Amino acid sequence: MFITKKALSRRTVLRGMGAAVALPFLDAMIPARAVLAQTTSILPKSRFTGIEIVHGSAGSTEYGTLNNLWSPKTSGRDFEFTKILQPLEPYREYTTVISGSTCDAADPVSAEEVGADHFRSSAVFLTAAHPKQTEGSDIHNGISIDQMYANRFGQDTPLPSIQLCIENLDSSGTCGYNYSCAYMDTISWASPTTPLPMTRDPRLAFEELFGSGGSAKDRASRNRINRSILDSITRDISRLQRNLDRNDQSRLNDYLENIREIERRIQKIEAYNVAHGPERELPAAPIGVPDSWEEHVKLMFDLQVLAFAADVTRVSTFKLSRDTSNRVFAESGCMTPWHSASHHGERAETIEDQGKINRYHLTMLAYFAEKLKNTPDGDGNLLDHTLVLYGSPMGDGNVHGHKRVPMVLMGHANGALKGNLHVNAPNDPPQANILLTVMHKLGVEVASVGNSTGTFDLSPTSSI
């Protein structure tokens, strides 16, 4: 390949019985004697992930603001990591913390909407549009930024986007205050009338990414006997390896081993759930869903990393929970149910409990960042080439408020973000301005997003 100047296609797929395995970015995909920086047609494109966490933040309360539970005291570069943000400190160079923005599109606009914040907030998170209050089929919202990016840069990948979640309602009709459940069950909207369903079962997500080869019968047969998707492409893998240099062989081996390990984890979860049935903590959950929230989240993050590494997709959204969830996160050190902790009644002790939950959730974001950083991608790693937006459309959950919403941007997005920055936004700008700026950083030159009034200044001198 190197002598003849032929390069391995970026779209090479290894196919077998019920398998279609795309490849990670390899040196063999660069034309011989070409300089990577000059091969713009094959340079890794930026990936985008939107991650929603519900119920706001302890740092958005009056107590949390005064005690800097979320927002650092200093702005600009070299800020201090607060109690809640501390899990992200190892990734300072990739971290942009934004304080003080307002998700005002989630505010009620009529008396009938007062109190319904839990039932419309998720629909606002990536659209910055106010959803129509209806329990019928005439839902109306906005286009989410993940789909704006997928429409512009995701059409030449096998999957333009993927949508994942940890909990969903599995219901239809109204969920409360005359709002359709469609508004609670997803954060991704292809159009104002088209919410995209989110996948909860890791097995289904895995099959969507790597099991599209062969027939549904082939895939079902493979799953019944617990065979790996890699078993049917062993010969193709060996043939490919012979034409790769040592560096590419190592990179490909690591990638394939990660696929195999995720399969093992899914099979182990399914075997446990079948054996324990009604004894499970989540007996009504799909067979591939682990009882452990942390195990589930890590598995879904690992799937996203593999998908990004092989350019199966460049866009993902991930809903870490559903509104009003009263799940207990014992690993956080707080035994208060989550929704109850967010309704803290201005009690300092309960706010601190909510802060423990917030901090625990950020350990999962740190896990994702570590996986991205440790995955080679072209001239850098996946975290160099990704923009992760993490936050909540709610601020102080006790009053269902949408001021001082928590938000973090992770990654360098191919140099568009520098990291090591805390911006304390002046004058309570709409969160929509941040979404618009994210689109511009990713190369999508839209004029507006939702109720945006302009772009958001992400320079070190922009804070007050």
Match 């803290």 to its residue by tokens: 344
Pairing of strands 95-99, 407-410: antiparallel
The three state secondary structure string of 85-139 is CHHHHHHHHHEEEEECCECHHHCCCCHHHCCCHHHHHHHHHCCCCCCCCCCCCCC
**In a shared domain, residues 358 and 437:** yes
Q: Would residue 77 count as lying in a domain?
A: yes
Contact call for residues 80 and 74 (beta carbons, < 8 A): yes
Q: Would residue 208 count as lying in a domain?
A: no
Q: Which of 244, 269, 286 is the last residue of a domain?
A: 286
The one-character DSSP state at 345 is T
pLDDT at 52: 98
Q: Would residue 186 count as lying in a domain?
A: yes
Cα 69 from Cα 406, distance rounded (Å): 11
CATH of the domain at 424: 3.40.720
Q: Would residue 361 count as lying in a domain?
A: yes
Q: Would residue 452 count as lying in a domain?
A: no
pLDDT at 216: 57
Burial class, 277, CB count within 10 angstroms (exposed 0-12 / middle 13-18 / buried 19+): exposed
Count of other CB atoms within 10 angstroms of residue 169: 12
pLDDT at 244: 93
The per-residue pLDDT for range 322-354, each reduced to its tens digit, is 999 999 999 999 999 999 999 999 999 999 999
**In a shared domain, residues 162 and 282:** no
pLDDT at 4: 43
Q: Would residue 447 count as lying in a domain?
A: no
Burial code (b: 16+ CB inside 10 Å, e: under 16) for 82-103 equals bbbbebbeebeebbbbbbbbbb
Q: Which residue positions in the chain have pLDDT lower than 70?
A: 1-6, 32-43, 170-172, 212-226, 463-464
Cα 41 from Cα 4, distance rounded (Å): 19
Q: Would residue 94 count as lying in a domain?
A: yes
Q: How many domains does the chain have?
A: 2
Print the domain residue range for 151: 46-200+289-441
Structure tokens at 394: 């709610």
Contact call for residues 16 and 233 (beta carbons, < 8 A): yes
**In a shared domain, residues 396 and 367:** yes
**In a shared domain, residues 268 and 410:** no
Q: Would residue 407 count as lying in a domain?
A: yes
Q: Which of 226, 255, 286 is the last residue of a domain?
A: 286
**In a shared domain, residues 235 and 364:** no
First-to-last CA distance in the chain? 56
**In a shared domain, residues 7 and 53:** no
The one-character DSSP state at 81 is P
**In a shared domain, residues 261 and 294:** no
**In a shared domain, residues 19 and 151:** no
**In a shared domain, residues 281 and 239:** yes
Contact call for residues 59 and 391 (beta carbons, < 8 A): no
**In a shared domain, residues 297 and 374:** yes
**In a shared domain, residues 278 and 303:** no
Structure tokens at 443: 């190369």
Q: Which of 251, 286, 321 is the last residue of a domain?
A: 286
**In a shared domain, residues 308 and 278:** no
